[in-house]
Amino acid sequence: METAKAIEKYAALYGVHTPADLHSAVSQAVMEEIAVKWRADQTAAEQGRRAYYLSAEFLMGRAVFNNLSNLQIVDEVRAAVERFGGKLEDMEEVPDMALGNGGLGRLAACFLDSAATLGKPLDGYGIRYQYGIFKQRFENGFQVEAADDWTAAGDPWSVRRYGERVVVTFGDMRVLAVPYDTPIIGYGAKTINTLRLWQAEPLDGFDFPAFDSGKYLKSTAGREAAERISSVLYPNDNTKAGKALRLRQEYFFTSASLQDILRRRKAAGKSPLMGDDVAVQLNDTHPVFAIPEYVRLLCAEGVAFEQAFAEAKKVFAYTNHTVMAEALEKWDVATVKKIVPALLPILNKIERALENELREKNVPLGRKAIVADKTVHMANLACYTAYAVNGVAKIHTEILKADTLSEWYALYPERFFNMTNGITQRRWLATANPKLAAFITERVGDGWLTDLKTLEGLEQHMGERDAAEFVAIKRANKQALADFIEQKEGVRLDPDFIFDIQIKRLHEYKRQLLNALAIVSTYQRLKDGELPDFKPTAYIFGAKSAPGYFRAKAVIKYINEIARKLNADPQTNDRLRVVFVSDYNVSYAEKLVAAGDVSEQISAAGTEASGTGNMKLMLNGAVTLGTYDGANIEIAEAAGEENNYIFGARVEELDAIRNTYEARKFYEADARLKAAVDTLIDGTFDDGGTGMFRELYDSLLKGASWHRPDQYFLFRDFDDYMRARLRVNADYGTPQFVRKCMMNTAHAGRFSSDRTIGEYCRDIWKI
């Protein structure tokens, strides 16, 4: 009732002419309602031991629906909005808060939701990019990027706290870091934590002497240089940017965050030596400059280096997210020296401490150097300092120990943990799929909202009538998605088709190209009159490519050309449809995961650290068509391998054949594979004269200076994959298939981020 009144007040103040107006009114009303509780929780969190999550990315998506849901005021607010002629759904036009690329940033968002729900004092620190991940559209099948000005209509979920600004000092400039705080409302609003994002601003914005003398451009040059630091998210997923501005961003937010933590401790009369009551989790290597920065700040307080570094070793924990060599961050010493010169002596001291320790232990330096060959190695800095190092799925942690970080594992085995990723069921079931959520609650109660394991009770509700209702819900979600896709993409899908979905960043290792080749092969076989019993299938893709990733863009173009040709072919389009949805983001994902029958998780074994998209689709009752990779393995283990479709070479096999793999032999031995691959060069599809399809073909058959032919083993897995797809197709529509889907939902409990955060709190953060 309070909220409803406040909404009316703000609606009067702003008007409700546009969805943005409505969003402002609703959001401000909620902010007003939670304000006192939020402040109280911030104060309370300062009392005992606590943790911070430092991440260059937070892929939050839309806050409003999730917040209303966690506050349990959806119906009240819906009624209030309808009283002045609006609809809650109008707010679906509000842009996502998309300050991340993909899985890593989304994980950070799920973790914040879970920690607040569990009542754990975990605040996030990051960067308030003015422009988030680019908006994507297709022109003639090519990806085109546009700036994501996500705050253009305001940002009612954040509070600018100018009074808590800090100064960040670079070698060549000083800037202000101004915090913007967003409440993280746990389920039932028992706890409200904070995401604090820093915005870069000039120390003294306007150069009056320059302006007075008529040098207008110079008068704002300082402002622009400062603002540039937080202006845009680097749109690269799983590759290092290597650019000076990126280094500036990393130091900017880690320095601001550490200064902030220490200032608050000082205000509370606490020591800056915080190892006993603060844990700082570093989300990948992007925030690892926090380590030398903390040492620097302690030394500035008069603490000796040895003691400062010993303290840092008690504070920081590091999460590795990838085994891809091209993603492991390294910085030129020259760049570090220019941009953050104050850190260089500290990095050198840490390097010497490492060398001394190794000498004492009689262990060679090997590949463990932190500063060597004019390069700073961020993962080594993290592994040497952090008291805990974790991978994000069982197989990933094993690969870290055996390979990527094996030298560190040999040195400090007790530091290594596995923390299999998770997703928050509040967003990915309650908000994304209210129909299935109601189905579940009717049968096993609503305990799943805070204890996802209770979904196992669904095993007692898989009779014929339950199954029929489950199928009807999936059908309704598919209809809703089809309507949305028609309106947004102009492609009509039939909800009676199988919805086979691959949504994730576009990457060679994720093998969207394998899916594309399988579609082409299926098309060719249908044209030849084969596969008489093939059940109609819609293949749905969603993915952004890094703007400079030529091959990934080629795959987008290829799939769009496949879609154009197949959707127009009357001989097959009653059984085959393809759509690449544009601007895949969290809000689109919410609609897609609710409507998936089949979840494509087909990365080359050993390449996908965990995956979390696989968990979202599983939770919503899709079967996984996937490889023995990342969390797919744990998904199949939890739901039963017989309830999923796992195929292809395992990591041991790929490791064994890597050095002798001859892609061309597979190509020449399998006429179907060859026929599909040849469409890259035989004129079947047109790449607009770019040569990009030929380059894809060459990457598979000739390789390039930096990799062997078919480095992600598409050809090795092609036949296995085709067979697994046809098994899915044969099973679909049977009672056994529905049971597989329901078993996946019932056993998704392990993949709640509540479980992951509970493990972090117990094993790493000790809170």
- Catalytic residue annotation: 321, 504-505, 510, 612, 616
Residue 381, phi then psi, degrees to nearest 5 = -60, -45
CB 553 → ligand PLP: shortest distance, Å?
18
Among 102, 132, 141, 156, binds ligand PLP (CB under 6 A): 102
Which listed range, 3-11, 279-287, 377-385, 605-613, lies at the site for ligand PLP (CB under 6 A)? Answer: 605-613
Q: Which is nearer to ligand PLP, 102 or 391 (CB)?
A: 102
Which listed range, 394-402, 458-466, 606-614, 754-762, lies at the site for ligand PLP (CB under 6 A)? Answer: 606-614
Three-state DSSP at 454 gives: helix
Q: Which is nearer to ligand PLP, 16 or 99 (CB)?
A: 99
Binding mask 499-528 for ligand PLP (x = CB under 6 A): -----xx-----------------------
Among 7, 23, 50, 103, binds ligand PLP (CB under 6 A): 103
Is 612 one of the binding residues for ligand PLP (CB under 6 A)? yes
Amino acid occupying residue 429? L
CB 60 → ligand PLP: shortest distance, Å?
11
Sign, CA torsion 523/525/528/531: negative
CB 506 → ligand PLP: shortest distance, Å?
10
| C-alpha to C-alpha distances, 159 to 28, 152, 370, nearest whole angstrom | 11, 16, 39
Sign, CA torsion 339/341/342/346: positive
CA distance linking residue 460 with residue 644, whole number of Å: 20
| C-alpha to C-alpha distances, 384 to 59, 353, 397, 418, nearest whole angstrom | 29, 10, 17, 18
Q: Which is nearer to ligand PLP, 385 or 585 (CB)?
A: 585
Q: Which is nearer to ligand PLP, 561 or 583 (CB)?
A: 583
User: Is 633 in contact with 610 (CB distance < 8 Å)?
Assistant: no
Which residue do the tokens 């060459």 mark? Answer: 698
Q: Which is nearer to ligand PLP, 322 or 385 (CB)?
A: 322
Q: How far apart are the first and last CA of the chain?
A: 36
Query: Closest CB to ligand PLP belongs to which residue?
Result: 613
Q: Which is nearer to ligand PLP, 593 or 673 (CB)?
A: 593
CB 123 → ligand PLP: shortest distance, Å?
22
Is 613 one of the binding residues for ligand PLP (CB under 6 A)? yes
Count of residues for the chain? 767
Provide the edge-to-edge strand list for the sheet that holds 375-377.
330-332, 375-377, 371-372
Nearest to 295 by CA among 169, 357, 385, 368: 385
Binding mask 723-752 for ligand PLP (x = CB under 6 A): ------------------------------
Q: Which is nearer to ligand PLP, 70 or 502 (CB)?
A: 502
Binding mask 370-409 for ligand PLP (x = CB under 6 A): ----------------------------------------
Amino acid occupying residue 701? L
User: Is 695 in contact with 550 (CB distance < 8 Å)?
Assistant: yes
Query: Which element (helix H / strand E) includes 263?
Result: helix 244-267
Applying the rule CB under 6 A, the residues between 145 and 164 that interact with ligand PLP are none
Q: Which is nearer to ligand PLP, 165 or 504 (CB)?
A: 504
CA 182 to chain CA centroid, Å, is 19
Binding mask 672-711 for ligand PLP (x = CB under 6 A): ----------------------------------------
Among 611, 626, 648, 749, binds ligand PLP (CB under 6 A): 611
| C-alpha to C-alpha distances, 109 to 116, 742, 764, nearest whole angstrom | 11, 27, 19
Which listed range, 43-51, 227-235, 379-387, 581-589, lies at the site for ligand PLP (CB under 6 A)? Answer: 581-589
**By CB neighbour count within 10 A (0-12 exposed, 13-18 middle, 19+ buried), where does 47 fall?**
exposed
CA distance linking residue 416 with residue 408, whole number of Å: 9
CA distance linking residue 98 with residue 76, whole number of Å: 28
Is 22 one of the binding residues for ligand PLP (CB under 6 A)? no
Sign, CA torsion 561/480/636/634: positive
User: Is 694 in contact with 679 (CB distance < 8 Å)?
Assistant: no
Helices (H) and strands (E) in the chain, counts: 30, 23
Applying the rule CB under 6 A, the residues between 104 and 143 that interact with ligand PLP are 106
CB 69 → ligand PLP: shortest distance, Å?
17
CB 585 → ligand PLP: shortest distance, Å?
5
Which listed range, 36-44, 100-108, 367-375, 724-732, lies at the site for ligand PLP (CB under 6 A)? Answer: 100-108
Q: Which is nearer to ligand PLP, 514 or 738 (CB)?
A: 514
Among 232, 516, 562, 589, binds ligand PLP (CB under 6 A): 589
10 Å Cβ neighbour count for 348? Answer: 15
Chain positions contacting ligand PLP, by CB under 6 A: 102-103, 106, 504-505, 585-586, 589, 611-613, 616
